[in-house]
Amino acid sequence: FILQMGVFGRRALATLAPEMAQRIVSGVLGPFVLIASLIAINGIISNDRKQGYFRFLFAKPISIVRYYLQAFALHGLGAVAATALFLVSIAAVSGAAIPAATILYPIAYYALLGGIGFLFSAFLRNDWIPLAAVLALSALAYFQWGDEPGLRGWVVRWVLPPFHLFDDLRNALLAGAMPELWPGVWPVVYGLMALSAGVIVLRRKAMG
């Protein structure tokens, strides 16, 4: 029965119009990348601190900063690889044409979310709480005041993490169009600034 349902579902998806298939991919890609990035960055530093693993990891003279930057890169690579596999699977089942450049979306998303998560994890024991709060606050603030021309709108667009730019980036990449420079660059720059701040914290704050 399960095999029959799977075949039926695949045939049903394969008969979708290309526009509908693209819309489905757009709808599921955002949540998938969010979850993959959260899993990849959660507790990247704070778990070692809470569980005392840092005493074994750094018993020998190993660079703490280099170790966690390597972990950041490897975790990000895992999140991007999982997204690529997810996109290939969807394309195979639905017949949707997914441009190869779509992989830039999870890279940019992890750069932003991962950079912020790295910073929180560098000095907090429960980094997922403020990370979830920042996600919710950014979404709510942009929904309420993102289009305002005054100071409040400026703070929302320039001070809070620019998660709102990812919708335009995702849609442009899935459509095969050349995305505007802004939606892709600013989140990456913001994430790298947060990552740099996390590196500074690691250099100055004792792991214990």
DSSP category for residue 176: T
Kindly tell me if the per-residue pLDDT of 106 is higher than 70.
yes
Over range 105-128, report the average pLDDT. 94
How far, in Å, are 12, 35, 97 from residue 8 at the CA level? 6, 28, 21
At residue 4, the pLDDT reads 39
pLDDT digits (tens, 9 = 90+) for 117-153: 999 999 888 888 899 999 999 999 999 998 888 888 9
**Higher local confidence (pLDDT), 187 or 61:** 187
Over range 98-104, report the average pLDDT. 91
For residue 33, the number of C-alpha atoms closer than 13 Å in the C-beta half-sphere is: 26
Q: Residue 124: count other Cβ atoms within 10 Å of its Cβ.
A: 16
Kindly tell me if the per-residue pLDDT of 16 is higher than 80.
no
Name residue 203's amino acid.
R
- Ranking 9-18, 101-110, 118-127 by mean pLDDT, the lowest is 9-18
CA distance 79 to 2: 29
CA distance 28 to 140: 21
The sign one gets for the Cα dihedral 10, 95, 105, 141 is: negative
pLDDT digits (tens, 9 = 90+) for 52-98: 887 888 888 888 999 999 999 999 999 999 999 999 988 887 777 88
Instruction: Determine the number of helices (DSSP H) and then strands (DSSP E) in the chain.
Output: 10, 0
Mean pLDDT, the chain, rounded, equals 86
The token pair that represents 172 in the structure block:
């442009």
At residue 184, the pLDDT reads 82
Q: Percent of the chain having pLDDT more than 90?
A: 54
CA distance 170 to 177: 10
Instruction: Quickly state the pLDDT bin for 188 (edges 50, 70, 90).
Output: very high
Residues 6+ apart with CB under 8 A from 191: 110, 111, 112, 113, 114, 115, 116
